[in-house]
């Protein structure tokens, strides 16, 4: 129970720090976003805008009232965020929440599926490699795994886009779904979503599974040498039970931390992938905002990506004790 509280506290604290950090970046940096926005408004609205009008425009965009003392600005900014007010996009003119909000599920869909797919294929392959340790298959797969591990996902994405997208026209080259379809739980729509998501997801999953496979292979080989596995064999357990309940489970557990870190990497990696496939997810908007120097949108995207990731990692962390009996009862004892 303590651990859960501690973990939740940590998550909240992280979000708080990230938000404060972004406030500081926007507000406090000389020559930074604030000055840029001001210049931009003046440029757009002409010089006839009063100082107050400019400040109001800025407030609408960033949620920060410039003429108040700094701590008031901070509190306003925080309360605004709590109410879902991330400011207004300079470029699109819409509230940031309205742009990013709908994009989040798509990003989560991409990264989540890719992560799951890569992990699943990786551990299955890795287990099989361990089982066939030393065989030609093992050596070959290890080589392929190392190679995939050395390939950035955007390279796969670009190649996929070129050959499967443009050349063979098997997959669409942009968008989340075919625009003519009605959004909802109908088969054509869902199929279209999968069709559009396939290349981004595959390009992220393909490079990921090599690493998982190698990891799983190493862990499985270690488990295969454990005493309890030998005892299990002597007890006459079926190969299936040994493979699943003994080898797989004990080999996967140590990879859980790696999975947590991979969540972070996946969110980061999705930014590039979304842009290659013009897939309107959070990362897509983030890059858009940077190219157009749309600071409110950029910070909104950054905060939301962080929140999504913090949630993901916290869930993973909290469920770990549930999966591994040894982790129950919390952390290790430390002295000195």
Partner 1 sequence: MSQDTISMPAGSNDPIIEARNVNVTYDLENQDAMVLDDVDVDLRREEVLGVVGESGSGKSMLANSMMDAVQQPGITTGEIRYHPEPDADPIHVLELSDEELRSLRWEEISMVFQGALSSFNPTLTIGGHFEETLEAHGYDVEEGMERARQLLSDLYLEPDRVLESYSHELSGGMSQRALIALSLVLEPKVLLMDEPTGALDLLMQRSILSLLEDLKEKYDLTLLFITHDLPLVAGMADRLAILYAFELVEVGPSEQLVRNSEHPYTRALLRAVPNLDAPLETMQPIGGTAPNPAHVPQGCHYAPRCPLSTEECHTDDPPWFEVAEDQRSACFHHDEAAEAVPFDVTETALAEMAGEEGPDSDGWSFASDEDVVMSLEDVSVHFDQNEGLVSSMFGESQPVRAVDDVSLDIRENDVVALVGESGCGKTTLGKTVIGVQRPTHGSVSYRGQDVWDAKDGRGDLDIPHSEIRRALQIIHQDPGAALNPNKKVLTSLEAPLKKWEPDMSIEDRRARIFGLLDRVGMQPPQDYAHRFPHQLSGGEQQRVALVRALLMNPDVILADEAVSALDVSLRVETMDLLLELQQEFNTSFVFISHTLSNARYLAEKADGRIGIMYLGEIVEIGPPEEVLGNPQHPYTKVLRWATADLDPSAQEIEEPPVRSIDIPDPVDPPAGCRFHTRCPEAREVCTRAAPDLGNDESTPQVRAAACHRTEEDHAYWDSKPLPEEQPMVAEADD
Partner 2 sequence: MNPTDDRASVDAEDAGSDGAVKDPLVDAVGGADVRPADARKRSAITGHDRHGQAVTDGGEAVSQFEQTAEFTMSKGERRRQWLEEKLLAPARIVWSDWRARTGLLVVSFYLLMGIVGPHVVAAPSPNQGRRLLGAFRSLEHPFGTTASGVDLLSQTVHATPAMLLMLASGAVFSVVLGTAIGTTSGYKGGRFDSIAMTINDMAMTIPGLPLTIVLASVLQIEGHPIVIGILITINAWAGLARAIRSQVLTLRESEYVEASRIMGISTPKIVLGDIVPNLMPYITMNFVQQARMVIFGSVGLYFLGVLPYTSTNWGVMMDAAVHRAGATSSLLAIHWLLVPMFTVIALAFGLTLLAQGADRIFNPRVRARHAETIEGEGEGGDGDPGDGTSTTDAMEKNAGGTTTGGI
* Rounded least distance, CB 57 to partner 2, Å: 20
Distance (Å, whole) CA 142 – CA 145: 5
Which helix (H) or strand (E) segment holds residue 54: the answer is helix 51-62
Q: State which of positions 231-260 bind partner 2 (CB under 8 A).
A: none
Instruction: Give the footprint of partner 1 on this chain (CB under 8 A).
Output: 2-3, 5-6, 9, 226-228, 230-232, 234-238, 241, 245-246, 249-250, 253, 324-326, 330-331, 333-335
14-22, 64-72, 75-83, 85-93 -> range binding partner 2 (CB under 8 A): 14-22
Distance (Å, whole) CA 11 – CA 17: 10
- 88 φ, ψ to 5°? -125, 140
* Rounded least distance, CB 158 to partner 1, Å: 42
Tell me if 336 contacts partner 2 by CB under 8 A: yes
Q: State which of positions 164-183 bind partner 2 (CB under 8 A).
A: 165-167, 173
Is 119:212 a contact under the CB 8 Å cutoff? yes
Residue 302 binds which of partner 2, partner 1, none (CB < 5-8 A, kind-dependent)? partner 2
Distance (Å, whole) CA 298 – CA 153: 23
Minimal CA–CA distance to 121: which of 242, 219, 247, 207? 207
Distance (Å, whole) CA 321 – CA 309: 20
Distance (Å, whole) CA 1 – CA 250: 25
Residue 52 binds which of partner 2, partner 1, none (CB < 5-8 A, kind-dependent)? none
* Rounded least distance, CB 123 to partner 1, Å: 16
Cβ proximity to partner 2, 36 vs 189, nearer residue: 36
* Rounded least distance, CB 16 to partner 1, Å: 17
Place of tokens 């030609």: 136
Tell me if 310 contacts partner 2 by CB under 8 A: yes
Helix axes 256-276, 282-291, angle to 10 degrees: 50
Tell me which of 4, 29, 170, 244 binds partner 2, using CB under 8 A: 29
Q: Tell me the CA end-to-end span of the chain in Å, nearest whole number.
A: 26
Q: Based on the number of CB atoms within 10 Å of its own CB, is 132 exposed (0-12), middle (13-18) or buried (19 or more)?
A: middle
Tell me if 305 contacts partner 2 by CB under 8 A: yes
Tell me which of 4, 8, 13, 244 binds partner 2, using CB under 8 A: 13
Is 159:202 a contact under the CB 8 Å cutoff? no
How many C-beta neighbours within 10 Å does residue 271 have? 19
Residue 167 binds which of partner 2, partner 1, none (CB < 5-8 A, kind-dependent)? partner 2
Tell me which of 286, 296, 297, 300 binds partner 2, using CB under 8 A: 286
Tell me which of 11, 37, 64, 99 binds partner 2, using CB under 8 A: 11
| Angular region, 46: left φ>0, alpha ψ -120 to 50, beta rest | left
Residue 236 binds which of partner 2, partner 1, none (CB < 5-8 A, kind-dependent)? partner 1
Return residues touching partner 2 (CB under 8 A): 10-11, 13-14, 17-18, 22, 25-26, 29, 31-33, 146-147, 149-152, 154-155, 158-159, 161-162, 165-167, 173, 227, 261, 264-265, 267-269, 271-272, 275, 283, 286-287, 290-291, 293, 295, 298-299, 301-302, 305-306, 309-310, 313, 332, 334-336
């Amino acid at each position: 129970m303590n651990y859960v509280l501690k973990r939740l506290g940590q998550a909240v604290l992280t979000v708080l720090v990230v938000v404060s950090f972004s406030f500081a970046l926007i507000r406090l940096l000389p020559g930074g976003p604030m000055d840029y926005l001001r210049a931009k408004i003046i440029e757009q609205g002409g010089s006839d805008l009063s100082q107050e009008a400019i400040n109001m425009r800025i407030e609408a965009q960033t949620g920060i009232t410039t003429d108040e003392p700094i701590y008031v600005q901070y509190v306003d900014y925080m309360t605004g965020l709590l109410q879902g007010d991330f400011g207004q996009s300079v470029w699109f003119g819409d509230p940031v929440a309205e742009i990013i909000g709908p994009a989040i599920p798509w990003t989560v869909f991409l990264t989540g599926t890719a992560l799951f797919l890569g992990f699943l294929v990786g551990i299955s392959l890795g287990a099989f490699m361990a089982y066939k340790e030393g065989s030609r298959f093992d050596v070959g797969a290890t080589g392929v795994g190392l190679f995939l591990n050395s390939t950035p996902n955007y390279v796969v994405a670009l190649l996929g886009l070129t050959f499967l997208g443009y050349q063979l026209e098997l997959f669409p080259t942009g968008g989340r779904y075919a625009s003519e379809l009605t959004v909802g739980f109908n088969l054509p729509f869902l199929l279209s979503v999968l069709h559009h998501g396939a290349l981004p997801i595959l390009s992220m999953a393909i490079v990921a599974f090599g690493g998982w496979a190698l990891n799983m292979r190493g862990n499985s080989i270690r488990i295969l040498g454990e005493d309890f596995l030998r005892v299990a064999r002597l007890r006459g357990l079926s190969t299936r039970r040994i493979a699943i309940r003994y080898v797989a489970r004990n080999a996967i557990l140590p990879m859980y931390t790696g999975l947590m870190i991979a969540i972070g990497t996946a969110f980061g990696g999705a930014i590039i992938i979304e842009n290659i496939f013009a897939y309107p997810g959070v990362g897509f908007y983030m890059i858009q905002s940077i190219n157009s120097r749309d600071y409110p949108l950029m910070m909104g995207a950054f905060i939301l990506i962080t929140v999504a990731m913090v949630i993901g990692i916290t869930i993973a962390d909290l469920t770990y004790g549930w999966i591994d009996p040894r982790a129950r009862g919390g952390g290790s004892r430390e002295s000195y």
